[in-house]
Amino acid sequence: MTTTDFAAMTGLELMRWVQTERPTDIPSIGRLLGMRFDEVDHGRIVISLDTRPDFANPLGTVHGGIAATLLDSAMGCAVHTTLPAGAGYTTLELKVNYIRAASTDGVTLTAEGTVIHAGRRTATAEGKVLDGQGRLMAHATTTCMIL
């Protein structure tokens, strides 16, 4: 297990650490789904994953919860990049619009989360998920409470 002091890192430092170190010894939804942190900037995160058969819904396409989780992660982590050391956040509201289905055969889904407003008590962000051909799969907004 890592001995890194996460509480001493700003949100941006922590997200860049995750991007660089790609920790596999820390249980997380990112590890479970195979998320990759492709870009980490102040107020903006790009995360991707490759679909697989385990992501299937009863119709045989990627379950909407995968897109929702990808969006929640990208937007929440984008908010996290704006926070000082020791601060945290939690999702208060998540609104997802689904545009098209994705197949479960290794399609790369890429989510971009961008902060719209970062206040002292709340933050808002928007996000979108694109498939490997750049087609919009889903888009969302979130409100996060700053802790």
Write down the pLDDT at residue 124. Answer: 98
- E strand or H helix that includes residue 66: helix 64-80
Q: State the Cα–Cα distance between residues 127 and 146, nearest whole angstrom.
A: 19
pTM for the full predicted model: 0.95
- Give me the residues paired with residue 121 across strands: none
Q: State the Cα–Cα distance between residues 79 and 146, nearest whole angstrom.
A: 9
The two tokens of residue 100 are: 């098209």
Q: pLDDT grade, residue 88 (50/70/90)?
A: very high
Q: Rounded to 5 degrees, what angle do the CA atoms 74, 75, 80 make? A: 95
Say which residues have a Cβ less than 8 Å from residue 53's Cβ, sequence separation at least 6.
104, 105
Q: In sequence order, what DSSP letters do the residues of 25-57 get, joined into one string? A: SS--HHHHHT-EEEEEETTEEEEEEE--GGGB-
Q: What is the pLDDT of residues 42-80, one digit of tens each?
A: 999 999 999 999 999 999 999 999 999 999 999 999 999
Single-letter amino acid code for the residue at 16: R
| CA R_g for the chain | 15
Q: pLDDT grade, residue 1 (50/70/90)?
A: very low
Whether 2 has a pLDDT exceeding 80, the answer reads no
Q: pLDDT grade, residue 136 (50/70/90)?
A: very high
Are the beta carbons of 92 and 143 closer than 8 angstroms?
yes
- Give me the residues paired with residue 48 across strands: 36, 110
